[in-house]
Each structure stands twice: as structure tokens, then as C-alpha cells.
Amino acid sequence: MATETSAQVLPYDEMARRHRIETLLTRAIIYALLLIGAAIILIPFLWMVSTSLKVERQLFEWPPRWIPDPVAFENYWKAWEQLGSIAPGLTFWRIISNTLFITVLAMFAEMFSAAVVAYGFARFRFKGRDVLFFIMLSTMMIPGVLTRVPSFLIWREVGLLNTYDPLTLPAWTAWGPAYVFLLRQFFLTIPREMDEAAIIDGANPVQVFFYVMLPLVKPAFLAIGVLAFQGNWNNFEGPLIYLNTTQLFPLILSIQFFQQSLSKEAPKWHYMMAMATMMAAPILLLFFMAQRYFIEGLNVGAVKG
Amino acid sequence: MGDPGAFNSYYPTFLRYIGTAIVLALLIYLTYQGLRKLGVKREAATGFALITPWLVGRILLTAFPILLSFYLGFTEYNILWDEPRSLKDPLFNYKRALSFKIVEFDKDERVSIAKLGQLQAEGPDIVRYRELDSVVIGDTRYVIAATDIYLWRAIWLTLRYAVLSIPLGMAGALGVALLLNQNVKGVGYWRTLYYLPAVLPAAAVALLWFWLFAPNRGLINWALGPIYDLTNSEPLGWFTDKNLVLPSFVIMSMWGIFGANTVILLAGLKNIPPDLYEAASIDGAGNWVKFRHVTIPMLSPTLFYVLIMGVIGALQLFTEQAFIPTEREDGWFVNWFLYNEAFNFGRMGYASAVGWLYAVFIIAITLLVFRSSAAWVFYEGAREKEAGGA
């Protein structure tokens, strides 16, 4: 494996030629390997989309058919119609609005509270700050199995089971330590003169936070927004535990409900794949629009940690 | 339960959502004022006030549940009951989870449940020992029996999954990252492509692979068709075959997680100063030496991060499992086992007890990995400090 093709002083043409061939060969191998990897990545992906557009009798055609004929776009609404027939009132639009309601509320609260807490940790010195910050980072290690049952019982005790409260309200308490950490690292890079100048100009701390600090950490703020959207959109365990009226189900739980209802009869793979594609589509769209923020959020723990 | 209607299910939550925000804002303000009254400096008061939402959240929603869970571990609690019931033997849940014994049978004797016996502890129900595994030595069959074989099976599956999927995933991701670091044209496009599966929701990945691995007419068994024909064998059952559940999950996880690790490792590779490679070249180092003595040490903090995240993720696999129905006997991971014990089998007390044991286990492993880092993770900053001190 050639790590570097450093220029060496080669006295003979023959050696230079050999070296060139060797380099060319190495490049060819690199691209070949990358292409094989790309195929492994893409084939399942294309298979998902292809299946989602098939009519039922073509699902099990042998050999597999890649391009559906006819192209059954109707799977994308028939799947939800069929789900609606077993869970009355659970229409496509209802599912989407449920999902967006949870995702947007939780995302906004998460972003905002993470920014406030990170600001507190980054810009002010107070007793016990470093210990608390260490505790905050340690909470990342607490496994979910430890809090699942008691959290369920607490929400049941206050009578808020089967509402969206357990999925959205706690987000105000900066429940993602990684987000706080990411924002704190960004706040630390802002020179102190910035907020001092604003305060001398007569701004109060709230104004400093909104008009000076937040705009300066915008990339990190958007990065955690993207991550929080993705996290809440994909959150399965929360809705599974706290919701039991089907009409309240978000997308992910509706899909699982549909799948379980099918397990006895023939699995409707075309419907399942249409649902999976729809579940993935907004996230993929977000990814292509805001790739920079995804990668920013991904790398912070590793590179800055 | 009837349909409450969309609006009726949104607005009460929305009001409480706004209410929570206002309460927390007030909390920040009052904490600040209170601390100021006590004579705390402005800076310290502001800082402490700003982190109170987090502090209150962690006390109410993390610390308190953890303690509650510890208490519940010593009780019996069906999800249908309003309150936990106390156990005659407070350690019953722990005994039920951990008891095992070895029983001797004749080589040809049938393993009978009666001979295996039952748990000697006073609890709500009779718990029998069941066969976990057996070994034949000479004329004797030694049967290893446990009171909860499903727990041990789940732990065994989860551990093997972690041990296989983490190193394979890391090696693969490192390989691709190294390839992408060779001045490849359009590296941004490649990176996007490889990252794609990691962006897909775990639920979608699970559904997709369940379909790809479908025993009859799944794409993978079709691709392997010629091999089946050649060897005259039956198509593999993948997720439905108890011996192949594990490799199926490992393959799926590699496809899914791969990309994220590749992106992280690639960023780590780009951070290695090129002059280190130049210096190594001047000293006559070959590619392998450069890889072994420059790339790996410089990349070790990134590898460490990927490893920690991999351990935490693998030991808590959950969502994928919910979309891939596997047999309880051989195909359940610990997290799914615990969820079912608590919410479907009516044993919340037992699930809390085992949850505690498992959490301690996860944290112990994570700390062990942290401790091991001193031996192989190279921090440039730390080294400089040492040199400065000497």
C-alpha cells in the first residue's frame, strides 16, 4: 500500500518508468477498491428504492428485477391506506404531523437549552464548574437501561403517559451532553473582548447572548440543530414506551406497528420499503442540504476532544 | 382508547412545553437573584444560574430515576399494578438473574427438568433451573443450568456481537479512510457516498436488511444462488437461522456504521502534519513503517473515540432489533430482553435489577477501555508536557 508517492531522484530512465507504472497500478487498485466499496454501499440502497416501486407480483420475481415495470408509485400512499385500515384515524398526514410535532419541539428545546448551558459553562467562572462539567460528560456513559423503567413510572405517576410530554418537555433541560460540549468548545474560541465590549455598550447578559454570542457560534448551533432533528426523528425507544394510542404514533412507531400486523400473512415488502424510503427521505434531504453540519457535528468529539 | 384528535393531543403538550420553558427561565433568573443576595459575585452567579436547567433536569430525570431503579430492583412490580410489592426475599430478583449450577448426568441419560431443581428462594413464583449448555467428559454429562437462560443467551449474543462488529467495523472504516486519503479525485463525493448508510435511520436500515436477507427470494440469497447450486446446499436462513443471527447483525451493522467512522477517521488522518511523513521518508522509512509509527500513533486518539462510541453503541443495540423479529431463544440482545421483561412480561422489578447489573457491566467495560488507552493512545500535548517537565 503506497502511502506517499514522494518524488525521488532517479538516475535511470528505466527506474523512472517502472516507478511510473507502479504508481499507475497503485492508483488503479485504489480506485478499484473504492468502486467495490461504492457498489456495496449503493446496491442495498437501490434495492430499497426499487422494491418500493414494485407491484406485489414482481416482488419475488426470479431473477430479481431492478427496474419495476409498471412503476408502482401508488405504493407510497397505498401503504398508509392499509395501515389506516387497521389503525383508524392514523392517516399519512396525521403521522407526519405527529412526527414533526415531536421532532420540532424537542429539537428547538434541545438546541436552545444546550446553548444556554454551554454558555454558562464556557464564559463564567464559578465554584464547582469543572466538577459539574465533568459530571455532565460522564452522563454520556449512563446506559438507557438504567432509567427506562423508572422514567416510565414517573411519567405515569404525573399522569402524562400517552402524551407527547415525555418526548418533548425534558429536552429543555439540555439532555444531550454532546451538544453542550460541542457548543462550549465554540464559545471558548470567542475572544472575551467581544462580550465585554457589548456590556460596556450597555447590553444586558440576555442581549449579549442573543445578539453577540449566538450569531458567533452559528455553525455549531446549526450543527446541533441538524443532529437533534435527526436524533428525534429516529427516536424509537421513547415513543415505544410512552405512547399506546395508535393515532398518536410518529412515523417510526407506525411503521413498526404496521410490520407487526403483517408478520402472520405474506410480508408486504413493497409497502415496507416504501415506508422505509419515506422515513429516510427527509433525513437524506437534510444531509445533502447541510452536509457540512453533519460532518462538523460528527467530528467534534473526535478531533477536539 | 379513542382517538383524541390531532389538535387535542397537541395543544396541552404545547402549553406545558411553553410552561416548562417559562419555569426554567424563571429558575435561572431567581437563582441569579438569590445568589446575588447571598453576596456571590456577578460572574459566578450568572454562570451557575445559566446551568440550572441542566442541573435540575439531571437531578429529576437522571439521578432520581437511577436511585428509584435501584429500589425497584428489590421489589416485584407488574406494569398493571399501581405500586411495587415487597419481596419476601429482597434479593430474589438478583438470585433469579444470577443463579446457575452444574448438574451431573449419565452420558445417555435424558436431561430432566426435575433433576435440575428449582431456585431456593422465596419469591412470587417458582423459578426452575433450565439447561444452558452441557459438556460430556468421560461417562458423565455436566449440564450447566441457569435460572434465566434467556438472560445468559442475550448476554452471550450481545458480547459476541460487540467483539465481532467493533473491530471489523473499525478496520473497514480505517481501510476506506486510508484509501480516501491517497489524494483521490473528488474525495468529497466519495466521502458523501460512504457516509450515506450512516445517515439512514436505523429503522430503515433494519427493514432493508431484513428484506435483503429474506431466506426465500431475498437479494443476498439470490446472489449466493450459484454457490448453493454448486455445493448442493439449501439457501441460508440468515436472521431466521439461530446460528446465523449473529453474522447477519454484524454484516448489517458494518454497512450501517461504517460510513460515520470513515468520516471521523478521515478527518483524523487529514490532521496528521505532512512533515511527519516527510521526516520519516528522509530517515528511509517505508510505507509500512510510516503507517505503523506515524499514522497509527497520530490517529490513536481518533481510533480511541471511535472505539468508545462503538462499545457503548454495540452493547445497547435496540432499534434494529425491534424491526427484525428474531427468536427469543437465540436472537435477542440484552437491551431488547430487558425491555420485554419490563413492559411485556410484567417484571419491572426484575428488569430494574438486571438493568442495574448490566449498566454496571457496561460502565466497567467502558472504564476498562479508558484505562487501556494509556497504553496505546498517543496524545501529542501530553507528551510535550512530560518533556517540558523533565
pLDDT in tens, B333-360: 999 999 999 999 999 999 999 999 999 9
Domain ranges of chain B: 6-76, 100-146, 151-389
Is the per-residue pLDDT at B389 higher than 50? no
| Digit-coded pLDDT (tens) for A179-222 | 998 899 888 888 888 888 888 888 888 888 888 889 888 888 88
Residues of A in contact with B338 (CB under 8 A): 145, 148
How far is Cα B214 from Cα B206, in angstroms, rounded to an integer? 12
pLDDT at A21 exceeding the cut of 50: yes
- B residues 244-273 closer than 8 Å to A (CB): 255, 259-260, 263-264, 267-268, 271
pLDDT-based confidence at B21, cuts 50/70/90? very high
**Nearest to B280, CA basis, from B296, B266, B297, B293:** B293
Dihedral, CA atoms, A194, A195, A198, A199, nearest 10 degrees? Answer: -150
- Residues of B with Cβ-Cβ distance to A303 under 8 angstroms: 267-268, 271, 302
**Among B51, B57, B200, beta carbon nearest to A132:** B51
Residue B390, SS3 per DSSP: coil
For B122-166, the DSSP string reads: --SS--B-EEEEEEEETTEEEEEEES-HHHHHHHHHHHHHHHHHH
Quickly list DSSP for A34-85. Answer: HHHHHHHHHHHHHHHHHHHT--GGGTT-SSPPSS-SS--TTHHHHHHHHHHH
Q: Quick one: pLDDT band at residue A300, thresholds 50, 70, 90?
A: low
- Residue ranges with strand state E in chain B: 75-76, 85-86, 100-106, 130-137, 140-146
Helix locations, A57-191, DSSP H = 75-86, 92-123, 129-138, 148-157, 165-168, 177-188
Q: Which amino acid, one-letter code, is at A102? A: I
d(CA B24, CA B276): 51
CA A74 to the chain's CA centroid: 28
Return the SS3 of A24.
Answer: helix
CA A283, CA B386: separation in Å to the nearest integer? 46
**pLDDT tens, position by position, B242-253:** 889 999 999 999
Most B-contacting residue of A48, A59, A173 (CB-CB within 10 A), to test interface: A173
Interface test with A, best of B22, B24, B29, B50 (most A CBs within 10 A): B50
CA A195 from centre of chain: 33
Nearest residue, CB atoms, B46 vs list A168, A205, A252: A205
Say how many CB pairs under 8 Å bridge A and B.
Answer: 327
**Which tens digits make up the pLDDT trace of B156-165?**
999 999 999 9
In this prediction, residue A64 has a pLDDT band, given cuts at 50, 70 and 90, of: confident
pLDDT, residue A178, reads: 87
**What is the average pLDDT across B172-194?**
89
Which one-letter amino acid corresponds to residue A160?
L
pLDDT exceeds cutoff 70 at B93: yes
| CB contact B169 to A (< 8 Å) | no
Alpha-carbon torsion, ordered B192, B198, B203, B205, to 10 deg: 80
Note the CATH architecture for domain B151-389: Orthogonal Bundle (1.10)
This model of the complex carries an ipTM of 0.89
| Contact across the interface for A143 and B316, Cβ inside 8 Å | yes
Note the pLDDT of residue B140.
87
**Integer CA distances (angstroms), B206 to A259, B54, B217, B247, in order:** 12, 34, 17, 14
pLDDT at A6 over 70: no
Q: Which residues of A touch B209 (CB under 8 A)?
A: 44
A227-273 confidence digits (pLDDT tens): 899 999 999 999 999 999 999 999 999 999 998 888 655 678 899 99
From chain B, the residues in CB contact with A98 under 8 A are: 6
- Averaged pLDDT, A125-142: 90
Predicted confidence band of residue A1 (pLDDT cuts 50, 70, 90): very low
pLDDT band at A302 (very low <50, low <70, confident <90, very high): low
Of A233, A245, A269, Cβ closest to residue B1: A245
Angle value at C-alpha B125, between B121 and B126, nearest 5 degrees: 65
Q: pLDDT, tens digit, for every residue of B24-79?
A: 999 999 999 999 999 999 889 999 999 999 999 999 999 999 999 999 999 999 99
* CB of B122 closer than 8 Å to CB of B92: yes
pLDDT of residue B380: 65
What is the pLDDT averaged over residues A161-190?
91
CB contact under 8 A, B65 and A154: yes
| Cα of B102 to nearest chain A Cα, Å | 30
Chain B residues with CB inside 8 Å of A38's CB? 190, 193-194
Residue A173 to residue B57, Cβ atoms within 8 A: yes
**DSSP helix/strand/coil, B102:** strand
Band of pLDDT at residue A305, cut at 50, 70 and 90: very low
For residues A135-139, average pLDDT: 90
| pLDDT tens, position by position, B267-300 | 889 888 888 888 998 888 888 888 888 899 899 8
Residue of A138, A148, A240 to mutate for B, most B C-beta atoms under 10 A: A148
Q: Say whether B61 and A269 touch across the interface (CB within 8 A).
A: no
B287 burial (CB, 10 Å; 0-12 / 13-18 / 19+) is middle
Q: Output the CA–CA distances (angstroms, integers) from residue A194 to A58, A191, A215, A296, in the order listed.
A: 64, 6, 12, 24
Asked which of A102-106, B1-5, B78-82, B314-318 is least confident by mean pLDDT, the reply is B1-5
The average pLDDT across A129-156 equals 92
Contacts of A285 (CB under 8 A, 6+ apart): none
Which of B61, B62, B255 is facing A44, going by the closest CB pair? Answer: B255
Q: Check if the beta carbon of residue B128 is closer than 8 Å to that of residue B116.
A: yes
